[in-house]
Chains A and B, each alone.
Chain A
Amino acid sequence: ETGVTQTPRHLVMGMTNKKSLKCEQHLGHNAMYWYKQSAKKPLELMFVYSLEERVENNSVPSRFSPECPNSSHLFLHLHTLQPEDSALYLCASSRDRTGGKQYFGPGTRLTVT
């Protein structure tokens, strides 16, 4: 596979569930990102990892927990979510953390019931 892949593509979870989103990039990039996209709102940057080290955490609630085991994989662990967390979660990568040219995955559509 090429580019950035995300699984699952769709996820429905209850407020008490625990689930994880997975992202994999096949581009040899050193930076990876999690964004949240809600209807009619700008993309919100959640986390930035550079060379497996978290370098940005934009005041994201602790019910979202990122993990970057290596430069190709990124996870977002979810627990005790709220209905307002329902959104499209996008993963992206770039050559390095200064790169504005980012490559996005197709996203995971999350619905919290």
Chain B
Amino acid sequence: EDQVTQSPEALRLQEGESSSLNCSYTVSGLRGLFWYRQDPGKGPEFLFTLYSAGEEKEKERLKATLTKKESFLHITAPKPEDSATYLCAVQAGGSARQLTFGSGTQLTVLP
């Protein structure tokens, strides 16, 4: 059974204080790992897809990295508008290519 564990559950940072969110996973044949951002009262919004260990993707202050067992979402010099819940999901190979989501990390960036 595919599993995704995100840590920490919640993280409070001061504006400009860089940090990382963790997503550990077990999956039979990783097809892709996905990061989404969810703001209160909204649906998740796609951020990145990572396909193989060693791959990195960047977008503004965010950088996602992938190893064979986990992914990190690095946030450099965050701003209050980066406050959101960040969700990680994995997609296995095979015929049933559902996404398995983690519970998310709720990030709060204080001004």
Contact with B along A30-60 (1 / 0, CB 8 A): 0000000000111101001000000010100
Q: Is A102 an interface residue (CB 8 A)?
A: yes
Known: A42-B102, A42-B103. A104 touches B91 (CB 8 A): no
B53 at interface by CB-CB < 8 Å = no
> Which residues of chain B come closer than 8 Å to A92, judged between CB atoms?
43
When chains A and B are docked, how far (Å) is the Cα of A45 from the Cα of B100?
8
Give the dominant DSSP class at A's interface. loop
Number of A residues near B (Cβ < 8 Å) is 22
Of residues B4, B36, B101, which shows the largest number of chain A Cβ atoms within 10 Å of its Cβ?
A: B101
Contact A101:B49 (CB < 8 A) given known A41-B103, A106-B41, A106-B43: yes
Within residues 28 to 78 of chain B, which ones have a CB less than 8 A from any CB in chain A?
Answer: 31-32, 34, 36, 41-46, 49
Across-interface contacts of B32 in A (CB, < 8 A): 100
